[in-house]
Amino acid sequence: MESVSQTAYRSQGFIGKYQRLIKDVVIPYQYSVLCDKAPDTEKSHVIANFVNAGKALRGEDVGDGFYGMVFQDSDAAKWLEAAAYSLALFPDKELEKTADELIEIIAAAQDEDGYLDTYFTIKDREKRWTNLLEAHELYCAGHMMEAAVAYRESTGKDKLLKVMLKNVQHIYDIFITQKHGGVPGHPEVELALLKMYRATGEKKCLELAEYFIDQRGKDTDFYKREAEKRDWTVWGSDPADNEYRQCGRPVREQTDAVGHAVRAVYLYTGMAELAAESGDKELLAACRRLWDSIVKRRMYLTGGIGSTVHGEAFSVDYDLPPDTAYCETCASIGLMFFALAMLKNEVKGEYADIMERAFYNTVLAGIQLDGKRFFYVNPLEVIPGISGVSPTHRHDLPQRPKWYACACCPPNAARLISSLGKYAYGEDESTMFCHLFAAGSVDFQNGGKITCETGYPYELTVNYTVVKGGKTLAVRIPSWSKVFSVTRNDEQISLAPKNGYIYVDVSDGDRITLTLDGSPRFIYPSAKLHDISGMVALARGPLVYCFEGADNGGDVVSLSLDTAGEARVQPYDEVLLGGTVKISVSALKTEDIDGLYSEDAPKRTPVTAVAVPYFTWGNRGENQMRVWMNRG
Amino acid sequence: MESVSQTAYRSQGFIGKYQRLIKDVVIPYQYSVLCDKAPDTEKSHVIANFVNAGKALRGEDVGDGFYGMVFQDSDAAKWLEAAAYSLALFPDKELEKTADELIEIIAAAQDEDGYLDTYFTIKDREKRWTNLLEAHELYCAGHMMEAAVAYRESTGKDKLLKVMLKNVQHIYDIFITQKHGGVPGHPEVELALLKMYRATGEKKCLELAEYFIDQRGKDTDFYKREAEKRDWTVWGSDPADNEYRQCGRPVREQTDAVGHAVRAVYLYTGMAELAAESGDKELLAACRRLWDSIVKRRMYLTGGIGSTVHGEAFSVDYDLPPDTAYCETCASIGLMFFALAMLKNEVKGEYADIMERAFYNTVLAGIQLDGKRFFYVNPLEVIPGISGVSPTHRHDLPQRPKWYACACCPPNAARLISSLGKYAYGEDESTMFCHLFAAGSVDFQNGGKITCETGYPYELTVNYTVVKGGKTLAVRIPSWSKVFSVTRNDEQISLAPKNGYIYVDVSDGDRITLTLDGSPRFIYPSAKLHDISGMVALARGPLVYCFEGADNGGDVVSLSLDTAGEARVQPYDEVLLGGTVKISVSALKTEDIDGLYSEDAPKRTPVTAVAVPYFTWGNRGENQMRVWMNRG
């Protein structure tokens, strides 16, 4: 199974609306941020960094011309990648011109030996490749490779791809020819090199990806020796903390998802992509173990991962507090990468299930409905006055900020959404895969062509029309849909899912309708999750629901859901939260007491509690929000 | 109301057993730690520091002769204070000799100008009084003053008191005569100076206490200016963080209990003691506001305060997570100090209620039943595998360590328990006050004398016999005892509590029996406490109960208590946990599910859950512990 190409999917419906939002609002807004033209927000300076690096290379004195994080370059790369995907969906001369100009600026910032990184080019050329622990040179290179591949795929233009091939040659010289010995402190270049390899056939890309993956965790003292040779540091990172950067042991021996969550899933994606490329069973077995570690023991209901603010990291098994959750948007995006890479190894519904869970919940929650504000951290519970204020909850903001000093998440969400077709649809020679239910049309490279009509995720019916068939249509049956029905040309057909997919033989003109279970579902946590044991959550279709003060008289902590009572799905509301479906649930409201503790059981009154999809939370001002509710 | 003298109370029963444990085990064990003779534990070096300081003063080269925290001296002071109290209870020539010798060592470490602090005397005499922000000179002095007062009270010997009077004169010269301008970064000397004043009548003690209290928060830039004048630091503390050390505004204007919890309650104790001394209504009003801030919005059910590990500090209102709680043992000891100081201002049951709550729960939990291990941090929930391990739970240990590098809590608990008579009993000219129900005999200075027989806290009946009367016996009726009965010489008498106390006129030979409510009580939290909203706790008498894995098949997180079902108090068990009373409660046990989340309501089976007093937790190896339980 491979993803469809970026130009294959023309979106409609829910996904179409989001892709249009990215094009109309997010990409222009983010570009204004990158150019430091957005009012009242964090300074970016990233374009200026590239301009200054170019000047520095031409011998101009740019003084203190770098501003931002050591990985600031990657914001431009991710924006460019998002713009590339968007250009494939919505041709736009103006945007393409802006992107072309940016590529010129980037190309001019490349050193003659192929090196490309504004931090060192501006600050100190001599320090290149001396701080793999912290300096993110390979991370930034990886992101720029991804942008280059995307831009060529969307526009056919290969200027940036050539720049990055030259950059690959430079990296090859350093790491293979000159045997540098190190691996990146922040994985990312591995998955990017595999994209480069697929896009160009350049074997050095594959060789480098293999090197970075195979070498990881083999030389556990590397960062310590590296640090000893240096008299400077970016953040004073501990070179002995191998767990943080997943290099405590060779990747094939790793069993638990540990350390910085984004680093982890970017690495695992690279590993899974390499396994798909090479057929390396041992590597795939490691990927499966790490996948299980995440989804069976270390993942929030919303597909959020990395539960602790300390190192933005995975914690131990079953440590998933809802209110102090970290759940970085980028980590859930990375989890989608990992899931898609696993699907390339084996078509199993569980990978697409998790991809969908992460997308419709944590990833979308990362973006305000108007596309102008973003969450980096996605808690499952917010209490105004505590969240964002108390020392242990300072990272859990009750409202989305406009931008971040560390701005990895907003452009990451933009590129993910703009390329959603690659996650929704896949193909091999004989099969058209539908992993996610994304309305629109799809032109498969295998010759098949379908259209998909659906009001998903709110309507749970999906209508496929086969424009050009002769292929098998493989459609995922989500594990949450205990019942489903399929018709072909209005006739019921009976198909048992195989590894979570039904495989339907289709011909031109066939109409396949899948009806999934649209009833609201209560979700119960394992008793091992001590933070939420005994509580209950609500979901419908792929959407996890939450309860906000705005719908519930200001206070949701005092509500206990009656799981034996009625949960009623409301009609689609076009106005509310940009169009959504509320669910109302029988509940009891506990009267507050005077003081902190009472020996009299507080009075409880029957009420109707109202839930909205989790991803829409925080769009109506600061108020309480809860996913896990008391059960009464 | 004043406390009785240390020699007034001869303990029996539960308190007697604890005071005996302190004498037999804790004091000798702690002394061996202070002398670095305890095996397998943190190094203390505190006695050696004093020896080395004395040598340094005599011109000997002691090189790098100081080891430990900048406030290491205070461990010796607190031990000496505990030893002093214990000597009043249990005369012991050997211990007195050891204490006398230690006092000689301490006296020899005093500089000729009266200065006494081994850190600066050994390391750098020139740096004295240049880092009030961090260096704890006044904190250490305060603890030594308390020890000096206690030792004179218990033994009549005044060598250390004279040393500390000379030290007071030195501090007076620095802060009053030479107008230093600063206040201590860690309050403590205020309450100690008031003890010194009461013990000696020396007006300079009162004047200094007034200065340190009145000056606090008036010069909010002091620490910044002080830091600018210095080229060294102890910990790199932020001199601008006035909230951490309660000096963001003058004390009379403070409204919320903020910052480092121990600093806070030590300061508030000093303020309340001064208000009791001076009759300052404005100061008392501030104390009342700060008291309310703690007990109405920032205190755990166990009397634990300071909910966050970040700065060992108070958090915002209603932020009281059970599993990541800090609840330093010293902070609850300090809360008892504050409560007792408030009682001296006004005899109100609520102060003694909180004193009792803190003592029987958090303070006693700080000590292993065998007296050999100690908790610094007292969580209300412990999950092996997460507690003490996960980055957010690293401070919440599932088992008591032997000692700590920062060893403030163990000797603090020892001095508190050894002087418990002062908290249990008070007096004025006409009244004998009984705040806590402590078995034994009490010789009041007002001429009254009583004995008290009780199996409290397990038996809720208290029998007083008036040996010498002609006074009023004032006995607190705890707010948790909704019903109670009193008899005089076996005849029921009807008395309405006044501010939480009944006042009984008694004559020689009278027998007064108070019977309190011994039924188990379910406790419900305010809906504002989002971490535990909808949960329930169990208490009986002054004891908060907890559920441990040891009594419940290993797992208590899966249990939901049936508050409508039966809660049965078991007979006193002489063997279990050094003698205790279990409570069994009807509950439902939730079967665990496969994976993290289930759409099927997990099966629940009726079981009997067993609770033990919170203070006894963690005495049977590592296992789950919960105070707040699910309600089923």
Same domain, B541 and B583: yes
Residue A408 pLDDT > 80 = no
- Closest partner residue to B525 among A522, A534, A597, by Cβ? A597
Instruction: Give the pLDDT score at A43.
Output: 87
Residue B407 pLDDT > 80 = no
Helix ranges, B130-221 (H): 137-155, 159-172, 189-200, 203-215
Residues of A in contact with B299 (CB under 8 A): 596
The arithmetic mean of pLDDT across residues B203-217, rounded, is 98
Cα(A497)–Cα(A514) distance, integer angstroms? 13
CA angle A237, A241, A243 (to 5 degrees): 130
Cα(B275)–Cα(B249) distance, integer angstroms? 18
Rg (CA), chain B: 24
Among B493, B516, B539, the domain-final residue is B516
Same domain, A501 and A558: no
Q: Does A485 touch chain B (CB under 8 A)?
A: no
Is beta strand B567-569 parallel, antiparallel or unpaired with respect to B559-561?
unpaired
CA distances from A265 to A178, A330, B138 (A): 29, 10, 52
CA distances from A141 to A106, A113, A163, A171, A186 (A): 12, 14, 11, 9, 11
DSSP line for A501-543: EEEEE--TT-EEEEEE--S-EEEEE-TT-TTTTT-BEEEETTE
- In a 3-state reduction of DSSP, which class is residue B575? coil
Closest residue of A to B538, CA-based?
A599
Please identify which of the residues A247, A287, A408, A546 carries the catalytic annotation: A408
Cis check: omega of the bond before B542, within 30 degrees of 0: no
Task: Dump pLDDT digits (tens) for B569-625.
Answer: 999 999 999 999 999 999 999 999 989 999 999 999 999 999 999 999 999 999 999
Cα(A41)–Cα(A30) distance, integer angstroms? 11
Q: Does A630 touch chain B (CB under 8 A)?
A: yes
B399 domain-assigned: no
- In a 3-state reduction of DSSP, which class is residue A578? helix
Same domain, A532 and A561: yes
Q: Does B592 touch chain A (CB under 8 A)?
A: yes
Cβ distance of A563 and B527 shorter than 8 Å: no
Instruction: Give the pLDDT score at B321.
Output: 98
Among B516, B547, B568, the domain-final residue is B516
Instruction: Give the pLDDT score at B566.
Output: 86
- Rounded to 10 degrees, the C-alpha dihedral A231/A232/A237/A240 comes to -20
Cα(B28)–Cα(B371) distance, integer angstroms? 10
Q: Which helix (H) or strand (E) holds B52?
A: helix B46-57
The arithmetic mean of pLDDT across residues A565-581, rounded, is 95
Nearest-neighbour CA in chain A from B565: distance (Å): 13
Cβ distance of A528 and B592 shorter than 8 Å: yes
CA distances from A480 to A430, A521, B477 (A): 27, 9, 57
Residues of A in contact with B320 (CB under 8 A): 596
Q: Is B392 exposed, middle or buried (0-12, 13-18, 19+ CB in 10 A)?
A: buried
Residue B379 pLDDT > 70 = yes
The arithmetic mean of pLDDT across residues B143-147, rounded, is 98
Q: Which domain holds residue A546?
A: 521-631
What percent of chain B is predicted at pLDDT more than 70?
100
The arithmetic mean of pLDDT across residues B240-262, rounded, is 97
A599 domain-assigned: yes
Same domain, A508 and A493: yes
Instruction: Give the pLDDT score at B555.
Output: 95
Q: Does A571 touch chain B (CB under 8 A)?
A: no
Closest CA to B437 of B424, B451, B418, B427: B424
Same domain, B549 and B589: yes
Nearest-neighbour CA in chain B from A315: distance (Å): 6
Closest residue of A to B519, CA-based?
A599
Closest CA to A320 of A265, A364, A379: A379
B189 domain-assigned: no
**Maximum CA pair distance of chain A?**
78
Same domain, A532 and A627: yes
The arithmetic mean of pLDDT across residues A214-224, rounded, is 97
Cα(A471)–Cα(A474) distance, integer angstroms? 9
Same domain, A530 and A585: yes
Cα(A300)–Cα(A306) distance, integer angstroms? 9
Residues of B in contact with A320 (CB under 8 A): 596
Q: Which residues contact B557 (CB under 8 A, 6 or more apart)?
A: A527, A528, A530, A533, B383, B624, B626
Name the B residues in 122-151 with CB < 8 Å from any A CB. none
Is beta strand A484-488 parallel, antiparallel or unpaired with respect to A440-443?
unpaired
* Tally of domains within chain A: 2
Residue type, position B185, single letter: G
- φ/ψ of A563, rounded to 5, equals -70, -15
A239 domain-assigned: no
CA angle A252, A255, A256 (to 5 degrees): 135
Cα(B185)–Cα(B134) distance, integer angstroms? 6
Residues of A in contact with B525 (CB under 8 A): 596-598
A443 domain-assigned: yes
Q: Is B231 exposed, middle or buried (0-12, 13-18, 19+ CB in 10 A)?
A: exposed
Instruction: Give the pLDDT score at B470.
Output: 81
Catalytic site positions of B: 312, 408
Residues of B in contact with A632 (CB under 8 A): 534
Same domain, B535 and B478: no
Cα(A136)–Cα(B603) distance, integer angstroms? 50
Instruction: Give the pLDDT score at A471.
Output: 87
- φ/ψ of B592, rounded to 5, equals -80, 160
Cβ distance of A526 and B595 shorter than 8 Å: yes
Closest CA to A212 of A178, A170, A172, A257: A172
Closest CA to B10 of B413, B427, B443: B443
Kindly state the DSSP code that residue B7 receives in the 8-state scheme. Answer: T
Cα(B165)–Cα(B201) distance, integer angstroms? 11
Kindly state the DSSP code that residue A299 receives in the 8-state scheme. Answer: B
| Residue B553: both structure tokens together | 């098949």
- Closest partner residue to B392 among A324, A480, A521, by Cβ? A324
A46 domain-assigned: no
Q: Which residues contact A187 (CB under 8 A, 6 or more apart)?
A: A139, A212, A216, A245, A246, A263, A266, A267, A270
Cα(A130)–Cα(A140) distance, integer angstroms? 15
Cβ distance of A601 and B324 shorter than 8 Å: no
Mutate to test the interface with B, among A308, A326, A392, A556 (most CBs of B within 10 A): A392
Name the B residues in 299-318 with CB < 8 Å from any A CB. 299, 301, 308-311, 313, 315-318
CATH number, domain with residue A487: 2.60.40
Q: Which residues contact A142 (CB under 8 A, 6 or more apart)?
A: A184, A188, A189, A190, A191, A192, A193
Closest residue of B to A324, CA-based?
B392
Closest residue of A to B526, CA-based?
A596
Q: Does A595 touch chain B (CB under 8 A)?
A: yes
Instruction: Give the pLDDT score at A540.
Output: 98
Instruction: Give the pLDDT score at B402.
Output: 80
Residue B408 pLDDT > 80 = no
Name the B residues in 539-568 with CB < 8 Å from any A CB. 555, 557-558, 560, 563
Cα(B72)–Cα(B50) distance, integer angstroms? 10
Cβ distance of B530 and A386 shorter than 8 Å: yes
Residues of B in contact with A309 (CB under 8 A): 392
Same domain, A454 and A529: no
Cis check: omega of the bond before B457, within 30 degrees of 0: yes
Task: Dump pLDDT digits (tens) for B60-103.
Answer: 999 889 999 999 999 999 999 999 999 999 999 999 999 999 99
- Closest partner residue to B386 among A316, A383, A521, by Cβ? A316
Name the B residues in 229-248 with CB < 8 Å from any A CB. none
Is beta strand A461-468 parallel, antiparallel or unpaired with respect to A583-590?
unpaired
Cα(A394)–Cα(A397) distance, integer angstroms? 7
Mutate to test the interface with A, among B353, B533, B543 (most CBs of A within 10 A): B533
Q: Which helix (H) or strand (E) holds B96?
A: helix B93-108
Task: Give the bridge partners for A473, in sequence order.
Answer: A432, A504
Per 3-state DSSP, chain A is made up of helix, strand and coil in percentages (nearest 5) of 40, 20, 45
What is the ipTM, given to two decimal places?
A: 0.94
- Closest partner residue to A530 among B320, B383, B392, by Cβ? B383
Using the structure block, give the residue that is written with the tokens 């990992």. Answer: A338
Active site residue A434: no
Please identify which of the residues A188, A312, A328, A427 carries the catalytic annotation: A312
Residues of A in contact with B293 (CB under 8 A): none
Closest residue of B to A602, CA-based?
B524
Residue B486 pLDDT > 90 = yes
Same domain, B559 and B472: no
Task: Dump pLDDT digits (tens) for B278-311.
Answer: 999 999 999 999 999 999 999 999 999 999 999 9
CA distances from A515 to A351, A423, A437, B4 (A): 21, 21, 11, 80
- Closest partner residue to A558 among B308, B523, B527, by Cβ? B527
Same domain, A493 and A568: no
Q: Does A391 touch chain B (CB under 8 A)?
A: yes
**CB-side neighbour CA atoms (13 Å) of B467:** 12
- Closest partner residue to B528 among A480, A528, A592, by Cβ? A592
Cβ distance of A530 and B557 shorter than 8 Å: yes
Cβ distance of B385 and A318 shorter than 8 Å: yes
Instruction: Identify the band that residue B160 occupies on the pLDDT scale cut at 50, 70 and 90.
Output: very high
Instruction: Identify the band that residue B404 occupies on the pLDDT scale cut at 50, 70 and 90.
Output: low
Task: Dump pLDDT digits (tens) for A287-327.
Answer: 999 999 999 999 999 999 999 999 999 999 999 999 999 99
| Residue B184: both structure tokens together | 């201590």
Instruction: Give the pLDDT score at B38.
Output: 85
Same domain, B624 and B589: yes
B109 domain-assigned: no
- In a 3-state reduction of DSSP, which class is residue B316? coil
- φ/ψ of B321, rounded to 5, equals -65, 135
A429 domain-assigned: yes
**Maximum CA pair distance of chain B?**
78
Among B516, B532, B547, the domain-final residue is B516
Residue B208 pLDDT > 80 = yes
Is beta strand B583-590 parallel, antiparallel or unpaired with respect to B567-569?
antiparallel
The arithmetic mean of pLDDT across residues B122-138, rounded, is 96
Name the B residues in 418-447 with CB < 8 Å from any A CB. none
Mutate to test the interface with A, among B392, B538, B545, B628 (most CBs of A within 10 A): B392
Residues of B in contact with A523 (CB under 8 A): 597-599
Contact B518, B569 (CB under 8 A): yes
Residue type, position A564, single letter: A
Instruction: Identify the band that residue A404 occupies on the pLDDT scale cut at 50, 70 and 90.
Output: low
Least confident residue range of A27-41, A147-161, A196-210:
A27-41
Residue type, position B67, single letter: Y
| Residue A258: both structure tokens together | 């540990």
Cβ distance of B527 and A592 shorter than 8 Å: yes
Residues of A in contact with B527 (CB under 8 A): 555, 557-558, 590-593, 602
A·B CB contacts under 8 A: 176
Cβ distance of A592 and B301 shorter than 8 Å: no
Cβ distance of A386 and B296 shorter than 8 Å: no
Cα(B597)–Cα(A524) distance, integer angstroms? 6
Instruction: Give the pLDDT score at A40.
Output: 81
Cα(A342)–Cα(A351) distance, integer angstroms? 7
